[in-house]
Amino acid sequence: MVRVKRPFSVYHSLMNTFTLVTAVDKRPLHTHFYAHKPDFHHWFDEMMRWRKNGRCFWLVCWQDGDLIANGQLLIYPHGAEYANLAVVPARQGQGIGTAMIAALDEIARENGLAEVEIGVDVENGRALALYERLGFVEDRRIRLMGGKTAVVLCKMLAI
């Protein structure tokens, strides 16, 4: 299992501060990003267990008392992925997603990861363009339940 080289709690970008999710973030995360997820509370608790084991780094970004973004680095035995990246619609296009990925890249490097993946609905052109601009390249396409197609992109990290 990969372990954190130094404790990570806060990442500062030019205009944003990202912190690791805590129990205090549970309700706002549910309200702002995961109200559609019926098993959210169980899933949140599971992600907190993964965090204790060094397998989940879940970041949030608060500005002026509002939760505006969240995203995860999930570490598996044979790989890692960025998952559940989201920025509230009113704050999209302001560099928050780019800064979130930079923060996750830093955490991945600190954990000795050489490569990460990210998946996105093939119809989400805005996210695809962002990921490609940040160095991700298409690896494969997969068919999802319901007939949608997702693109899985990979990025090599300089360690």
149-156 and 115-121: which strand pairing? antiparallel
Q: Is residue 131 part of a domain?
A: no
Q: Is residue 53 part of a domain?
A: yes
Q: Is the pLDDT of residue 3 over 80?
A: no
The count of residues in the chain is 159
- The string of pLDDT tens digits covering residues 132-157 is 999 999 999 999 888 999 999 999 99
pLDDT, the chain, mean = 89
Q: Is residue 143 part of a domain?
A: no
Q: What are phi and psi of 98, to 5 degrees?
A: -60, -45
Q: Is residue 52 part of a domain?
A: yes
Q: Is residue 96 part of a domain?
A: yes
CATH number at residue 34: 3.40.630.30
Q: Could you tell me the residue range of the domain that residue 97 belongs to?
A: 10-113
Q: Is the pLDDT of residue 4 over 50?
A: no
Residue 45 CA from chain centroid, whole number: 17
Q: Is residue 63 part of a domain?
A: yes
Q: Is residue 100 part of a domain?
A: yes
Domain count, the chain: 1
Name the helix (H) or strand (E) containing 141. strand 137-143
Q: Is residue 51 part of a domain?
A: yes
